[in-house]
Every structure is written in structure tokens, then in C-alpha cells.
Amino acid sequence: MATPRRSRRPRTTLLILVLASVTIITLDARGGFHRITSGLRTVAADAFSPVRSGVDDVVEPVGSFLAGAVHYGAVRQQNQKLQAEIDQLRAERTAQVDTEQRLQQLSALAHLPFVGNLETVPAEVTNYGTSDFAATVDISVGRDDGVQLNMPVVGMGGLVGQVVQANHSTSTVRLITDGQSQVGVRFGPGANSLAVISGHGPGKPLSAGLVPTNTPLPPGTTFITSGLPNAEFPGDIPVATVTSSSNGATASQESVNLEPLADLSHLRYVSVLLYGPSS
Amino acid sequence: MTVREAARVTLVVALFVTVQQTLMLDLRLGPVHPDIMILLPVVAGLVGGPGSGASMGFGAGLVADLFLPTPFGLSALVGCIIGFTVGITTLALDRTAGWLPPVAAFGASALYEVIYAVLGSVLGQPQMIHVDLTQVVLVVSVVNAVLALPALRLVGWALPAASIEGVPTSTVSSGTLR
């Protein structure tokens, strides 16, 4: 009679792989190994950049064709005499309006009042993040364009985020709504009071820490970057406005909710400020 | 695993990561996009058993981590756990049943996302637990359930025939396992 015997090999495999994973995570959290993983990520992003562009070039016309077909059907129901040429003209008009809007946005980005004399690199947002667990966007410029790690990124309205991965031709930007984002800011009369704005994830309001209780903060109060020495952001960039404030859970701090001034959910073009703390 | 099988597995992983990084990133439902990389350890667990599931989860997870802003190695850790779990929990089931891959993909994807968020939060990324986890779980699980059968065929083509690893030898000799 055969004796029931369960192989231990899969469990050993699992144990080894779990230990390997934990080791990798631990090493990545420390300095030296992180440079290796960051380099690998850069290589992967650079390798996939042309693949993404190629697939987008193939998929976009198909999507446009299907959208056009649906649109044509709806119009035909409304008016039987509508001809395909009119559809084409409308499509061209839409494309023209789209181009004009892009031009306006790019032109506006080139003349953002709060940027001052800082050198900027305009970029197109190519992807809204690769993870469901982090608020990031990918942009179309990288180290070849002068972009470096931790450089600030601005858009229409104000601060968008910070470069957290700079590849050769693309970069990843951590938005100010991300849970890891913290921005030193000033506010109040004369913009003399200091605070820190923290993100809490996509779609969630920002919060401001270090705001003393009973600080008058009517909705609409604007917070701007502090620009303190060695700060990661240059000063006077609008960041967010107050939506509500109340006495916080602690006795010494006001609970302040804010919304970003830049429209982070519809980002199309942004500008990377070629700025470092030593600038 | 032979060189030919390793090449096939590499090809399948490359295909999955390409689709994930192109089509799936554009396929957004609200702020959430599908994550088909999770399917690899799930179907590998179904095809090859717990050991294959764990190995595929680790390898595919490391590849996925190259493109994610979350801690490097986290996808590999969760992937090998999920692959092993799927392999071990489905050993006693009829793996030829049509309902099994979609159900396993749905359940395992949901479990993956929850473990991923919790472990990420523990590892210094507190925002990961504050996302709309219900929405993430629903989108990822449903899409993976829909794509489970084609993924199973692909991974079945790449991996060796169903393994008997982890199964009581008496059961194997009696011929009850497929």
C-alpha cells in the first residue's frame, strides 16, 4: 500500500522566492541597490517607449475610425440626407479645433507668469500612470532634454508634481496628489506662514500640515511654494487653494483641505522646470 | 525546463508586458486600468501547479516591477504567493473545467490587489491602502476573468504539461488527478 507523501518541492520553491523578493525589496529601499533597479527601470522605459508609440500609432486610427462610424450612425438617424463628406469636414474641423487648443495650451505654458526666468522644457503627457496605486504621469521628455530627478513640473494653474524617474527620452512625474508627495508652502497675509501640503491619492483632497489652530483660512486661499533655501521647488508657484478648514484632531493644528490649482485629471501638456535646490 | 520551454515562457511574458504597457494602460475605467500581468502566475498555477505558479509569479512580477513606481520586488513577492496559492488550491479540482480559469482569475486577482495594497502600505507606501480598492479589485478581476481562457492557452503552450508536484503520491497512482 502506498504511503501518502506530499512533495515539499513547491513549498521550498515558494520559500526561496519569497525570501528573494523580500531581499530585493529591502535592498531596493537602501541606497546602492536602488541605483541598479532605477537603471533597469530606465532601460525598460527607454526600450518600451518606441513600442508604446508604435502601438498608439496603430490603435489610434482604429479608435478614431470606430468613433467616426458611431458618430456617423447617430447623425444619419437625425438627418437622412447627411453625407459622408460632411462627416469628414466635421472631423477635419474637430481636428483643427483640437490643434488650436493644443497650440493655445502650449503657448500659455510658454508664458506661465509664476515661472519667472527659470528655464523650462515643454512636454506632452503620454500616460496617466502605470500603477493603480500611485498618482503618476509619464511625459515625453527625459534626460536627453535636460530633465533630471526631482525637477519640478508645472502646468496651467500651478504645480503639477516632481520628476521621480528620468529616462533618456521619457520621465515619470509624481503628482502632488500622490500619497508620497509633500510640498513646502507659504500662505496667509504677506505669505509669511509656512506649511506642508501632502497628497492622499488620486481624486482625494490635499491636506496642509503645520497650520496652527484658529488660523483664518477662507475657501479660496491660495498656497504657494515656499522657496526656502535648499527647497526642492522654486518659490511662488501656486500649488492649491483651500476648500475647507476646521479645528483638527490635534490641539495645535488646523485641519485644512485643499484642491490643486492645476487640473491634474486632464493634463495634456506640462513644463519641466530645469531647477534644482542649488539653482 | 528545457531551453525551448524557457524561450516560450520568455516570449509569453514579453507579449503580456507589451500588451499591458500599451493597450491596457489606455484602457481606463475611471482612474483604474486593468493589470493582466497578474494572469501569468494565476494560469501558470493552473497549468503547472504551485511550483510553476510561484516561479512565474516571481519572474513576471520582477518584469512588471520595472514599469511600476511602487517598491521594486513587491509584484514579485505577491505574484509568487498568488501563483503558489492558485496551484495548491486547485490541485484537487478538475482543471479541464471551463469555469475554473475565469473563477480562479477573478478570485486570485482580487486577492492579489488586496495583498499588494496592504504589503505596499506596510513597506512605506501608505497611499496604496487609501486608493479606491473596491474599484481597482473590480476592474482588474473582471478583466482578468474575461481574459483567463486565452491566457491559459498561451501559458499552456509555453509551460510543460500539467505537473503533479505537491500531490499525495497515493492520489497520483490511483489516477484521480488530471
State the nearest Cα–Cα gap between A169 and chain B, in angstroms: 15
**In this predicted model, what pLDDT tens digit does every residue of A129-188 receive, in sequence order?**
778 888 899 999 999 999 999 999 999 889 999 999 999 889 999 999 998 899 999 988
The count of other CB atoms within 10 Å of the CB of residue B130 is: 17
B28, B73, B130: residue with CB nearest A204: B130
Q: Are B82 and B107 in contact (CB under 8 A)?
A: no
Looking at residue A177, the DSSP 8-state letter turns out to be: T
The pLDDT of residue B171: 41
Alpha-helical segments (H) within chain A: 9-29, 31-78, 84-110
A4, A130, A172: residue with CB nearest B168: A4
The pLDDT of residue A79: 63
Reported confidence tier of residue A95, pLDDT bands at 50, 70, 90: confident
The ipTM value here is 0.84
For residues B140 and A74, the model is more confident at B140
Q: What angle do CA B127, B132, B138 make, to 5 degrees?
A: 135
**For range A81-104, the mean pLDDT:** 77
The pLDDT of residue A34: 77
Alpha-helical segments (H) within chain B: 3-19, 25-26, 39-48, 50-65, 74-89, 100-122, 133-158, 169-174
Grid coordinates given for A240: 492649491
> Which range has the worst mean pLDDT, A12-21, A81-90, B60-69, B152-161?
A81-90
CB contact under 8 A, A174 and B140: no
**For range A193-214, the mean pLDDT:** 86
Rounded-to-integer distance, Cα B42 and Cα B50, Å: 10
For chain B, 178 residues long, the average pLDDT of each consecutive 10-residue run is 87 93 83 92 93 94 92 94 94 84 96 94 83 90 96 90 46 37
For residues B145 and A102, the model is more confident at B145
Looking at residue A271, the DSSP 8-state letter turns out to be: E
Chain B 126-155, CB below 8 Å of chain A: which residues?
A: 126-128, 130-132, 136, 140
C-alpha distances (whole Å) from A161 to each of A95, A180, A191, A229, B30 are 30, 11, 21, 19, 21
Looking at residue A214, the DSSP 8-state letter turns out to be: T
Nearest one of A123, A141, A252, A262 to A199, comparing CA atoms: A262
Which residues, listed in sequence order, are joined to residue A260 by a DSSP beta bridge? A240
The pLDDT of residue A117: 83
B22, B88, B169: residue with CB nearest A55: B22
Grid coordinates given for A6: 506530499
Nearest one of B4, B111, B120, B14 to B59, comparing CA atoms: B14
The pLDDT of residue A137: 92
CB contact under 8 A, B127 and A134: yes
**In this predicted model, what pLDDT tens digit does every residue of A218-233 receive, in sequence order?**
888 999 998 888 888 9
The count of other CB atoms within 10 Å of the CB of residue A122 is: 16
A13, A59, A199: residue with CB nearest B51: A13
Q: What is the pTM of this model?
A: 0.69
**For range A252-258, the mean pLDDT:** 84
Residues of chain A found within 8 Å of residue B21, distances taken between Cβ atoms: 48, 51-52, 130
The secondary structure element, H or E, covering residue A162 is strand A158-166
Q: Which residue has the cell 513597506?
A: B123
Q: Which of A9, A12, A13 to mutate to test the interface with B (most CBs of B within 10 A)?
A: A13
CB contact under 8 A, A18 and B125: no
> Which range has the worst mean pLDDT, A39-48, A61-70, B46-55?
A61-70
* B42 phi, psi to nearest 5 deg: -65, -55
Task: Calculate the average pLDDT of chain A.
Answer: 82
